[in-house]
A = this chain, B = another copy of it.
């Protein structure tokens, strides 16, 4: 099984971190490749950066997706997820999407902890759009962004653990998601300090993608995620233009 991890921001170090941690989590027999966004913000922590990252994710898929059996969109918040599901011939899973589905099985209410204050309302809207607003206890953000945490994780651990405890004890979460590509690998280091199940965003995403591939996923023939209808374009990469043209 060949899976493509797409990091839709433009920082290769985060791509490398995610690939390294995902390799530890993957089932035997899973082969992983990873791609970085060709354009956009160094990290995604605003609506503007998010909008650009949606395009960058499509661009990366068009360039690197040939031959893969599934795509993991590795930016928690999932920019471009529905567009990528439409454009792709293989299953696509987003970190946030998979995490909230897993969290919803662990209790009535869950929280999300991540880095970067702007993600607060953006993730609330994401959860609501997935129909789970009534299950969300809170989104708790720490001040450093995922990129900053990735550069110096030791410094952020205490704040992340405190945020997770706040989610459980103050907000009533019965499960907590630790989200953020830049936070890959950190959940194991704080889980013992959190009184409720702690869901690792990368692990949840990878498990959901592996399960979909193993279950024989196939492209919907009906509904909103059938193939993108062909359309002419201008100013795009040749690979993406070809995809849009129906290639």
Question: From A97, which residue of chain B is reached at the shortest CB distance?
Answer: B105
Interface presence of A190 (CB below 8 A): no
**With the chains together, A169 CA to B221 CA distance in Å?**
11
Task: Indicate whether A48 sits within 8 Å of B228 (C-beta atoms), given known contacts A39-B236, A101-B105, A211-B207.
Answer: yes
B231 near A45: Cβ-Cβ < 8 Å = yes
Q: Mark A211-238, 1 if CB is under 8 A from B, else 0.
A: 1101111101111110011011111100
Task: Indicate whether A235 sits within 8 Å of B51 (C-beta atoms), given known contacts A225-B174, A229-B45.
Answer: no
Contacts of A48 in B (CB 8 A): 58, 83-84, 86-87, 228, 243-244
Query: Which candidate, A64-72, A154-162, A177-185, A195-203, is the interface stretch facing chain B?
Result: A195-203
**With the chains together, A196 CA to B222 CA distance in Å?**
6
**With the chains together, A235 CA to B42 CA distance in Å?**
10
B51 near A80: Cβ-Cβ < 8 Å = yes
Contacts of A77 in B (CB 8 A): none
As for how many copies of this chain the complex holds, the number is 6
A208 near B58: Cβ-Cβ < 8 Å = no
Residue among A46, A51, A102 having the largest count of chain B Cβ atoms under 10 Å: A51
Task: Indicate whether A41 sits within 8 Å of B232 (C-beta atoms), given known contacts A196-B220, A223-B174.
Answer: yes
Residue among A50, A172, A234 having the largest count of chain B Cβ atoms under 10 Å: A234
Question: From A130, which residue of chain B is reached at the shortest CB distance?
Answer: B104
State which of B85, B98, B229 has its C-beta within 8 Å of the C-beta of A118.
B229
B49 near A51: Cβ-Cβ < 8 Å = no
Task: Indicate whether A195 sits within 8 Å of B221 (C-beta atoms), given known contacts A131-B104, A131-B134.
Answer: yes
B40 near A107: Cβ-Cβ < 8 Å = no
Interface presence of A247 (CB below 8 A): no
Q: Measured between C-beta atoms, what is the minimum distance from A214 to chain B in Å?
A: 8
Q: Measured between C-beta atoms, what is the minimum distance from A5 to chain B in Å?
A: 18
Contacts of A135 in B (CB 8 A): 131
Interface presence of A93 (CB below 8 A): yes
Contacts of A54 in B (CB 8 A): 51-52, 54-55
B231 near A41: Cβ-Cβ < 8 Å = yes
Chain A stretch 1-41: residues in CB contact (< 8 A) with chain B: 10, 27, 37-41
Could you jot down 8 A-B contacts, CB within 8 Å?
A: A41-B232, A45-B229, A47-B82, A131-B132, A172-B223, A174-B224, A195-B221, A207-B211
